[in-house]
Each structure stands twice: as structure tokens, then as C-alpha cells.
Structure 1
């Protein structure tokens, strides 16, 4: 089932994935850990999750799937 997520939420998820990948390559970067925490808070507190369609756990999985497919489409991740 295709969901329509707010563009800012999808972009924040994409930023989160890129930061996570960068942290995996250089694990001792405090600035990346802080950025990952900030982005996690932004995703978790987004108003979309209070709507009827955002309440299911499947919505969070679908957000990650859509963000990853956009990253793959743009060639940003392998």
C-alpha cells in the first residue's frame, strides 16, 4: 500500500540514513552521533505520526522503504 508522506519527513529520513551510513564508516565521530540523535527526534516528533494513517507501525517501515528507494534512484547509496 503506497502512502503519501510529507516531503519534509521523507527528506529527514533520507538525511538520517546518510548520517547513519557516515557514522558506520567513521564510528568515533561525536558530531555524527549528535546529528543522528537530532534527526531521530525530528522523525519521531513529526506531526504526521498523530494522524490516522501515521499511527500504524507499518507506516514507519514504509517511510524507510520510500526514503531508501529515493536514495537508490538518485544513486546516493549502493
Structure 2
């Protein structure tokens, strides 16, 4: 799937999900309840985004591509 086909808000939600997941995975953190709540809100936002209704046949592959793109974009920003 063409990576540019994803809406910016969907890619940003996936980036936020990844960052929240990483924060939650850090040992010895306090405030995990709020992080878990944020993670759930982001998961719902990603899962029910209108983009998926327009692309139902390619959804599993597209979801994988979305996660890959969000990770790649973040690593490119860090490297710059």
C-alpha cells in the first residue's frame, strides 16, 4: 500500500500510540493509569478512523504498513 495514502491524523495517532506504549513499558514509572487510559483512547481512535471504512479489503496489510511508517517517520526525525 502507498504510504502517502494514510491521512496525517491517522499517522500521528499511531506515532502517539507508539510513544505512549514505550512510556508505559519503561520500568519504575508512576502514573501508569493515565498512560493506559491514553493508550486505550489512541487505540480506539486508530481502530475506528474513517480511513478503514474506505479500505476494508486491505485493512490487515494497511495496518501493518501504518505501524511501519509511523516507526520509520519517527526514526528519521530523531536522526535529523
TM-score (norm 2): 0.84
Which structure would you say has the larger RCO, counting Cα contacts within 8 Å and 6 or more residues apart?
A: 2
Q: How many residues align?
A: 76
Q: Deviation of residue 41 (structure 1)?
A: 0.4
Q: Larger helix proportion, structure 1 or 2? A: 2
More deviation, 19-28/7-16: 19-28
Q: CA RMSD in A?
A: 2.0
- Counterpart mapping for 1:18-57 below 5 A: 18-25=19-26, 26=29, 29-52=32-55, 55-57=58-60
Q: 5+ unaligned residues in a row in structure 2: which ranges?
A: none
Q: 5+ unaligned residues in a row in structure 1: which ranges?
A: none
Corresponding position: 1:11 with 2:19: no
Q: Deviation of residue 56 (structure 1)?
A: 2.6
TM-score (norm 1): 0.86
Deviation beyond 6 Å, 4+ runs, structure 1: none
